[in-house]
Chains A and B, each alone.
Chain A
């Protein structure tokens, strides 16, 4: 079946450090890929997406590139801020017509001043 694997957290960084959160997936066909962010006590917010191979999604300084050959969608940011502290979820949606998202386990990011 479809699955998403994320790196274990928490990830603790100092402000202005470079961020990478790894995400790999297993799915047939060509799924769409997403990163969602969850701040404490809130729901998930879409951060960025990519719908086909080699697409780069970007938003608020975050980027992720859809790599079909490595089945990966790693999240990166060049300089993190304290306000980026949250839980980040990688997710996929298959191209089979099933609309539900399959999520990774989430990675907690803590940014220290």
Chain B
């Protein structure tokens, strides 16, 4: 079975550019999570959805970040404008209600 699929795997862009990260959850999963991993702050939740509806976005750093889930099989995390401090590995995960979360391989983002 296909796991959580994220794209791109690596992204290098200049400060001020728009960045879009993509995630395809495991088919049938009703929860989708976006996490960010940095050396300084470790793994932290940005936002999560249930049945395509955002439930908790308390971890979204500021207005430059936005996330959408237009349907059950696709989500995006957008940063506009990007800043060097946004450099991190961004993980998407999905799950069924009472089951553990399955993680994608992440997108390594570098903002120059």
Distance, CA A103 to CA B36, complexed state (A): 11
Among the stretches B13-21, B70-78, B98-106, the one at the interface with A is B98-106
| B35 CB contacts on chain A under 8 angstroms | 101
Mark contacts of A70-109 with chain B using CB atoms, 8 A cut-off: 1 yes-contact digit, 0 otherwise: 0000000000000000000100000000111111111000
- A-B contact number at CB 8 A: 47
Q: Is the CB of A106 within 8 A of B42?
A: yes
Distance, CA A100 to CA B48, complexed state (A): 7
Contact of A46 among B33, B91, B100, B106 (CB under 8 A): B100
Contact of A43 among B4, B31, B97 (CB under 8 A): B4
Cβ distance A106 to chain B, nearest Cβ, rounded Å: 6
Q: Is the CB of B48 within 8 A of A105?
A: no
> Considering only CB atoms, which chain A residue lies closest to B102 in the complex?
A46
Distance, CA A79 to CA B33, complexed state (A): 34
The answer to the question of A45 belonging to the interface, with a C-beta cut-off of 8 Å to chain B, is yes
Tell me the count of chain A residues lying within 8 A, CB to CB, of chain B.
Answer: 19
Distance, CA A18 to CA B14, complexed state (A): 46
> Considering only CB atoms, which chain A residue lies closest to B41 in the complex?
A105
The answer to the question of A17 belonging to the interface, with a C-beta cut-off of 8 Å to chain B, is no
Distance, CA A34 to CA B103, complexed state (A): 14
The answer to the question of B50 belonging to the interface, with a C-beta cut-off of 8 Å to chain A, is yes
> Considering only CB atoms, which chain A residue lies closest to B30 in the complex?
A99
Instruction: List residues of A (19-44) whose CB comes within 8 Å of B's CBs.
Output: 34, 36, 41-44
27 A–B contacts from the bound complex (CB under 8 Å):
A34-B100, A41-B105, A43-B91, A43-B93, A43-B103, A43-B105, A43-B106, A44-B91, A44-B93, A44-B103, A46-B100, A49-B100, A89-B43, A99-B31, A99-B48, A99-B50, A99-B95, A99-B97, A100-B56, A101-B43, A101-B45, A101-B101, A103-B42, A103-B43, A103-B44, A104-B42, A105-B42
List residues of chain A with CB under 8 Å of any chain B CB: 34, 36, 41-46, 49, 89, 98-106
